Amino acid sequence: MSNLVPIIHGVAADRPDEADTFRNAETIAAALQARGYQTDITPIDLDLTVFEALAARQPLVVFNLVEGLRGNGRLGYLACAMLEHCNLAHTGAGETAYYQSTSKILTKILLQAANLPAPEWWTRAVPAGKKVIIKSVYEHASFGIDQNSVVDGRSASREIMFREKHFGGRFFAEKYVHGREFNVSVLQLDDGPHVLPIAEMRFDGRPDDMLPIVDYAAKWDTASQEYSVTQRRFGVEEHDPELAERLKSLTLKCWAAAELSGYGRIDFRVDSMGKSYIIDINANPCLAPDAGFAAALKEAGFEYEDGVEAIVNAARRSRRR
């Protein structure tokens, strides 16, 4: 049997989050080689015949890191669709789940149908007095989010139009939940999905005029004040076990409703009254060694290579079904 696990990505745009995906591919390649797999890295563009070439090589699994094509997150699902069209086992979510998670609006509709808690949202007109955060519909990694993204409802339509013009794509308004933020990573093992230690994003030491949000600068601009005051912390299971159990339960319900597989991450905001809101479903969260998923793996006692191999094994099991 082949032990070939090629890695595919769609990096094209000159953005820090895009460049991070390419570095991530190199790290995963090293992890796969350390576990005895053959691997290489293949860039994907809109010439989809590359998938036929991949199929001809008869890989064991394809490691799918495609988040967008030509810098457009809306097109990322095409890689997943072509992998399944060519009957290639691949890491992460299937085509339908991937497509739904690509659009934050489709994600909202899915959560609503599953009776899972998510903030209200609007595509244009927002009631005055509502504080909202303006987000990209299709882009992830906090693209298009900064300290000016939180506005009153009266300004939402204008801010949406400004950001669509400035960043491209579509934007929408989501009710701003002032409170704590948590990232809950999930790894699928032989006996099903396992919730990894819960990470809280802390903003200790931020100035009073800085919003406690993980915006683009907080994730990618290492020289920014936002980056310096945004820190990941573990330990909620010990300090607040009731909240941890609630987040874990919601995460597994979300995993099932969204039909995720292999690995994933669910992001939450928790308000001052303790109510939890699902703010994002990540079907293919970043696997870079300094990113949240790898940090959760380490906190759980996994070596990085263990996590990568577990993701490959989940894809193999999916193929056998």
Q: Which of 9-13, 16-20, 161-165 has the highest mean pLDDT?
A: 161-165
pLDDT at position 16 over 80? no
Task: Using alpha carbons only, give the angle 121, 291, 231 rounded to the nearest 5 degrees.
Answer: 75
Domain with CATH 3.30.470.20 in the chain: 102-119+178-320
DSSP sequence for 80-109: HHHHHHTT--BSS--HHHHHHHH-HHHHHH
How does residue 319 score in pLDDT terms, banded at 50, 70 and 90?
A: low
Please give the pLDDT value at position 1.
Answer: 64
Q: What is the mean pLDDT of residues 2-12?
A: 91
State which amino acid sits at residue 59.
P
Count of CB atoms situated within 10 Å of the CB of 242: 8
Q: Please give the span between the terminal C-alpha atoms of the chain, in angstroms, as a whole number.
A: 18
Q: Is the pLDDT of residue 321 over 60?
A: no
pLDDT tens digits for range 83-121:
999 999 999 999 999 999 999 999 999 999 999 999 999
User: Above 70 in pLDDT, residue 50?
Assistant: yes
Confidence of residue 17 (pLDDT cuts 50, 70, 90): confident
Average pLDDT of the segment spanning 311-318: 92
Report residue 320's pLDDT band, with 50, 70 and 90 as the boundaries.
very low
112/109 Cα distance (integer angstroms): 5
Q: What residue ranges in 159-285 does DSSP mark as E strands?
A: 171-175, 179-189, 192-195, 199-202, 231-234, 263-271, 276-282
**Looking at the predicted structure, is the pLDDT value of residue 290 above 60?**
yes
Reported pTM: 0.94
pLDDT over threshold 60, residue 193:
yes
Q: What is the CATH number of domain 7-91?
A: 3.40.50
pLDDT over 60 (residue 282): yes
- Per-residue model confidence (pLDDT) at position 235: 97
pLDDT at 13: 65
Cα separation, 139 vs 198, in Å, equals 24
Whether the per-residue pLDDT at 269 is higher than 60: the answer is yes
Between CA 68 and CA 76, with CA 73 as vertex, the angle to 5 degrees is 45
- Residue ranges matching CATH 3.40.50 in the chain: 7-91
Whether 70 has a pLDDT exceeding 90, the answer reads: no
For the cut 50, the answer to whether the pLDDT of residue 26 exceeds it is: yes
For residues 255-274, average pLDDT = 96
Mean pLDDT of 287-296: 94
- pLDDT tens digit string along 215-260? 999 999 999 999 999 999 999 999 999 999 999 999 999 999 999 9
Residue 214 above 90 pLDDT? yes
Q: Percent of the chain at pLDDT above 90?
A: 85
- The domain defined by 102-119+178-320 folds into D-amino Acid Aminotransferase; Chain A, domain 1 (3.30.470)
